[in-house]
Structure 1
């Protein structure tokens, strides 16, 4: 029998530091209309000059000779700034009035001379590919101007930085630039029409959903002004809302982009024991985090206490995220919470998550509906509301050899589940698998036969969430493991 506890705000010890140590400080220079000096006419210098010009700078290039790339750049000009070519070597007096100084030097002696001249003039300096003579560095850039993302590995792994840039490029649609520009144009209307706090945040959440939809930003600002009015009417000042968010099985990599945006927009997060710290770390730093742990057989918050807290917080104007492990709509008691919130007239929405059964299949590399073995899949609770084996389940139906069955929260009932299935006619040698802490660093698994399920589950970490899969598809598990190349096994060990 479980005992009840009240929701509590997490202690500081559960939170990560507000800011870990930084290898370098990311800053953004405003260069529009300012002068910068570039020493060298090489291809590398041309690339830096083009960046500076794109930022609106007046770029003074000092070089007696020009490589083709620099020559072409000076001929075609800049999309935003301008170029001035000085067909000579630089001198100390050329640094006066410069905002930045960049050079491509062949030798360390030349690099040091340029570095010292810039330092004496008080101008931030970068000598390309010579970290010892740099006070700032260029990172990889994702350009969705006015949104600009800079990535730095502090010179340790440039190729990794480029890979990160490519990953971010896939996440940020090209149309985002238009939406960012539109945001700047409607900002005053938002400030004038919407109240500070939840109303404004709700607008920007909706705006962000449009921005990441892949659609082009509307050219008519009045359409966005209409959205301002819609939000003002839909969520009056002083009224909050609740979003039920699926946190997935554990790893933050299983979160959806929509879930991350919900966490970033929350005032308060009510989260379960099973939600990992790495998921919580993606939330808005100012959001209050309240632990409302619900674990089978342990001291837990009552569902009524959780419902009362959601209602109270939303009525006080807070945007509340109810963060649940897995998917809220799969054994997450979301139905009870949605019903209560709707009865109270509080806006509620749902962001689905990766349910544990899907994550289990992915981690094992086994399809739950492999067409040679299973034509259906069932998700079944491992215990009733009274903590016993659920009697409302069609146990005889679960013996269908063409069905894969996944039991949630079945650790304590493993022996009874096995016995009941066998008694109903399920073959005792049916392949089964049990997994604990799916997708987490301490993931553990056992595979065997249905008749050995109870003993197998006992080998897994006690007190952890355990999923049990039953069906012929899990007989493929050994084949899959044997087919994995040795180098991939090594890679898995590293992760």
Structure 2
């Protein structure tokens, strides 16, 4: 768990007494919020005139207004105190009185005098989402609230009410652990599919009975994590991470993505990196089988897309042969992320009629010999080479030998979509030199084809401007981020 600026807590206020000092619009908003949570709210106005919003709340019977000053109030019985204080001196006095009475206090717009804060709220009660920026950026908190509002359907309130009504019955049918969680995860899936109908409760109870009667078997989900940027995760991938018991993750998975996983999930690194000591595929297969047989919900988290050079075929075959349920959630592959990051169309109709994804090395780590290199050297195709850092120079020479023009544009990128992404633009004849400049210690992808011509031209123009025409005539291209 990373450091928290504040700890989010939810305080039950139904029937509890709250003191509010001040008659402003801000005090009215806080009073209405407390009343909405069921609090018994008394607003002490002193000499202030009550805001229209406060008068409306009093008319509705939601708050009581008192003409007395808060200092004259009998604080016995109040469990929260909120003050709208004009001066620092009044704020200090209000806080001191609250602390002397043992009452948690909030002074509006004066964080230094607050024991607790109000964040932005998404209300699907009994589902309530609170958002805090620790007072640093309230506007950001409001923007986050708007984003969450669009993700949470209004019907969530109905489903939450249904969950409350079923909890005791489900607890009696299903023991704590995997079976009960499997039921509630199914329930969550339904809660995002529309409003519950009258028969929903009966169907859910029937499902709980079926789960209790059948032995619990685990499953494995191969999840594509994308190239690194956590915002490129799909919603389905997020849900899988949130429901996993165990996560077997690649060496290339960023900490930011793992941070989105279920807190209780066990995380196990099964890193596989070219040219480095790695877990054997056989060991990974055995781990997935053992965990699934133990009833665990396993997520095999892979960089990029599991079906693009992710060796998912071997893992799927091993799981199916053992009778383990397996599913695949696709991810954003590096080539797509690079195209997006450089605003390049890989199949621009003026340049390319197809796109190919090609491995840059064989099982032995050398240049693949079972590839039709003459077909790859097609000037009307965009070719994206994965895992070709150490063979880049050989690839460039081979393609030129097969007839691809030496000045064909090339784009190399490392750490795609991450803050430290680096790129190199140049010509096919300089591919080896470009790779040496980028390096291959980090994940590298390079694309070859006319769709990158504009990027190469821009890079050359920048090179001329920065280092002079003599360097440009030598065909070198800059390393640019």
TM-score (norm 2): 0.88
Task: State the SS of the aligned residue for 1:99.
Answer: strand
State the match for 1:354 in structure 2. Answer: 332
How far off is 1:288 after superposition? 2.3
Task: State the SS of the aligned residue for 1:469.
Answer: strand
Residue 206 in 1 paired to residue 186 in 2? yes
State the match for 2:26 in structure 1. Answer: 44
Residue 72 in 1 paired to residue 52 in 2? no
How far off is 1:256 after superposition? 2.1
Per-residue CA deviation, residues 211-235 of structure 1 (Å, 9 max, x unaligned), is 344x2244431232244345556x7
Alignment of 1:177-196 (within 5 A): 177-196=157-176
Per-residue CA deviation, residues 172-218 of structure 1 (Å, 9 max, x unaligned), is 333333332222222233323334322222223332233344x2244
How far off is 1:57 after superposition? 0.9
For 1:226 and 1:210, locate their aligned partners in 2 and report how far apart those are by CA, in whole Å.
15
Residue of 217, 221, 229 corresponding to 2:201? 221
Q: Which has the higher contact order (CA 8 A, sep 6+)?
A: 1
Alignment of 1:440-451 (within 5 A): 440-451=418-429
Per-residue CA deviation, residues 248-302 of structure 1 (Å, 9 max, x unaligned), is 1122222223222222222222122112222222223332222222122222222
For 2:461 and 2:15, locate their aligned partners in 1 and report how far apart those are by CA, in whole Å.
61
Residue of 296, 299, 323 corresponding to 1:345? 323
Residue of 447, 458, 463 corresponding to 1:469? 447
Alignment of 1:123-142 (within 5 A): 123-142=103-122
Alignment of 1:93-492 (within 5 A): 93-213=73-193, 215-219=194-198, 220-229=200-209, 231-232=211-212, 236-237=215-216, 239-478=217-456
For 1:174 and 1:481, locate their aligned partners in 2 and report how far apart those are by CA, in whole Å.
50
Task: State the SS of the aligned residue for 2:263.
Answer: coil
Task: State the SS of the aligned residue for 2:70.
Answer: coil
Does the aligned pair in 1 maintain the 2:409–2:456 contact within 8 Å? no
Task: State the SS of the aligned residue for 2:43.
Answer: strand
For 1:460 and 1:124, locate their aligned partners in 2 and report how far apart those are by CA, in whole Å.
57
For 1:223 and 1:55, locate their aligned partners in 2 and report how far apart those are by CA, in whole Å.
32
State the match for 1:35 in structure 2. Answer: 17
Task: State the SS of the aligned residue for 1:102.
Answer: strand
How far off is 1:348 after superposition? 1.2
For 1:402 and 1:425, locate their aligned partners in 2 and report how far apart those are by CA, in whole Å.
13
Task: State the SS of the aligned residue for 2:305.
Answer: coil
Does the aligned pair in 2 maintain the 1:142–1:168 contact within 8 Å? yes
For 1:482 and 1:118, locate their aligned partners in 2 and report how far apart those are by CA, in whole Å.
68
Task: State the SS of the aligned residue for 2:438.
Answer: coil
TM-score (norm 1): 0.86
For 1:419 and 1:372, locate their aligned partners in 2 and report how far apart those are by CA, in whole Å.
26
In structure 2, the CA distance between the partners of 1:186 and 1:392, relative to structure 1 (3 Å rule), is farther
In structure 2, the CA distance between the partners of 1:228 and 1:422, relative to structure 1 (3 Å rule), is farther
In structure 2, the CA distance between the partners of 1:73 and 1:394, relative to structure 1 (3 Å rule), is farther
Please give the root-mean-square deviation of Cα atoms over the aligned residues, in Å: 2.5
State the match for 1:59 in structure 2. Answer: 41
Task: State the SS of the aligned residue for 1:448.
Answer: strand
Task: State the SS of the aligned residue for 2:116.
Answer: coil
Aligned length: 460
In structure 2, the CA distance between the partners of 1:193 and 1:370, relative to structure 1 (3 Å rule), is farther
In structure 2, the CA distance between the partners of 1:218 and 1:451, relative to structure 1 (3 Å rule), is farther
Does the aligned pair in 2 maintain the 1:365–1:480 contact within 8 Å? no
State the match for 2:471 in structure 1. Answer: none
